[in-house]
A and B are shown apart, each in its own frame.
Chain A
Amino acid sequence: KAGVTQTPRYLIKTRGQQVTLSCSPISGHRSVSWYQQTPGQGLQFLFEYFSETQRNKGNFPGRFSGRQFSNSRSEMNVSTLELGDSALYLCASSLDARQRVQYFGPGTRLTVT
């Protein structure tokens, strides 16, 4: 069974631009969660989607948004990029994040200059 895939793997953007990251969960998984990892703050929860609905949201500004499609693939969007948005963005999929193991993708490394 294929694992969680994330595209692109690396991205360089300029302050003020916007970016869209994509995540394809393991086949059959309906829950997709997004996390931001930085050296200072560690791993922080962004949001979780389950069956195309946002179920939970972490403490991030409205510039961070996401969506999930009917095939469970998910995208997250960051608008008006700031230097502090430079991070590794990780996506995790699960049959149900509340009950089961969450499987992580390799991440997208975003650098904002």
Chain B
Amino acid sequence: KQEVTQIPAALSVPEGENLVLNCSFTDSAIYNLQWFRQDPGKGLTSLLLIQSSQREQTSGRLNASLDKSSGRSTLYIAASQPGDSATYLCAVLAGGGADGLTFGKGTHLIIQP
């Protein structure tokens, strides 16, 4: 059974810092990996999708990498801003597409002004 772990569970940093969020998964047979952010009481906003054949994806100040063989992904946020404060969730879609997305518990990020 696929399991996804995110470290750290919470992070608080001053504005302007670059930071890295980590995600690991137990079964490397995945279709894709997706990073989301969730604001309090809201739904999920998709940030980046990495297909299993890709190594990284970039969108603005965000860069996500995927190392399928080691079961790891990182989300890099450059020049953090208070508006980046949210919970960041990593999710994998297992090979075969069954069981839907498997989510980690998330990293709760606070950017201090």
Contacts and interface: CB of A to CB of B under 8 A. Distances in A.
Interface of A: 4, 33, 35, 42-48, 55-56, 58, 90, 92, 97-107, 109
Given A56-B99, A102-B46, A104-B36, 10 more contacts: A4-B43, A42-B104, A44-B103, A45-B100, A45-B101, A56-B98, A90-B43, A92-B101, A102-B101, A104-B45
Contacts of B106: 42
Interface residues of B, number: 25
Contact of A33 (B31, B41, B89, B100): B100
A58 B100 contact: yes
Given A42-B105, A43-B89, A101 B99 contact: no
8 contacts: A42-B104, A43-B103, A97-B93, A98-B31, A101-B46, A101-B49, A102-B34, A103-B46
Contacts of B63: none
A4 B93 CA distance: 20
A109 B36 CA distance: 19
Nearest to B95: A98
A105 B102 contact: no
Given A98-B31, A101-B49, A104-B46, A48 B105 contact: no
Contacts of A45: 99-102
B61 interface: no
Interface in B1-59: 31-32, 34, 36, 41-46, 49, 51
A101 B35 CA distance: 10
Contact of B44 (A99, A100, A104): A104
A54 to B, nearest CB: 12
Of A45, A47, A103, chain B has the most CB atoms within 10 Å of the CB of A45
B89 A105 contact: no
